[in-house]
Amino acid sequence: MKNKKNVTLILSILMLITISFSGCAYVGSEVNELNGSITGNTYLASFYTNEGEKFMDMTGQKINLSANIVKEPQYSSDGGWGYTKTLSSVVTITIDGNEVESCGSTIIFAEDGLTPEVDFKNPEIINSTTDGSLEDNTLIAGIVNKYKNYYGKPRVIVVQSEWGNLICAYSGDKVYWEVCQDLPKTTKLMIDGKALYIHQATFQIFDKNMLK
């Protein structure tokens, strides 16, 4: 009887965890992976120059962004030459079965329904103050913000070209971000359930309340 109660308790805890994470932005990110095997997600791929000028748009329902691996010669400590595998700067984009090779251009992949803030004005100065509360302590804030990111929180994303020219800005109430480990210079964000990929660009992500 005791074992049955323990099993029931464990199942209840697992159910609560599942329910609590169902609204988690991290889980939404895993569901919305930019992968050619996923259908129904239409993306707008916008290409920009180093000056931040858009020169091409592409759309598709099945889009995949993949890295290219190259072998580079490397001198080893034992006095011999060998090769090491590294990520190339060239990425391959597959759009509905067609391929595009890209190198150096800033690319923004925005899921259908995700639009930038057309009236955003980049502030020159952001002033922040604290009332001395414990939650503003940098050590505590770092831990709290790490977990808040998994659930998503109100944030603003400012995207610039590699030369620092403003391209666009996005904002959302539930924003989650992560660095793509298998793709060079690519960051993934979930903005209110919509996926945004930023490739080969500079950007800033900051809490919305800093603009108040």
The total of structural domains in the chain comes to 1
Say what the pLDDT of residue 18 is: 43
Which residues of the chain fall below pLDDT 50? 2-22, 26-28, 31, 35-38
Residue 85 CB contacts under 8 Å (≥ 6 apart), including other chains:
69, 70, 71, 72
Say what the pLDDT of residue 21 is: 44
Strands 81-95 and 63-75 come out as antiparallel
Tens-place pLDDT, residues 129-185: 566 565 555 666 556 656 666 667 889 999 999 888 889 999 999 998 888 877 788
Which residue type occupies 89? S
Strands 166-179 and 186-191 come out as antiparallel
Tokens read off for 45:
């791929």
- What's phi and psi for 146, nearest 5 deg? -60, -45
Say what the pLDDT of residue 66 is: 83
pTM for this entry: 0.71
Print the domain residue range for 109. Answer: 2-211
Say what the pLDDT of residue 149 is: 62
What is the rounded distance in angstroms from the CA atom of residue 153 to the CA atom of residue 208? 9
Say what the pLDDT of residue 179 is: 86
Say what the pLDDT of residue 207 is: 87
Say what the pLDDT of residue 12 is: 45
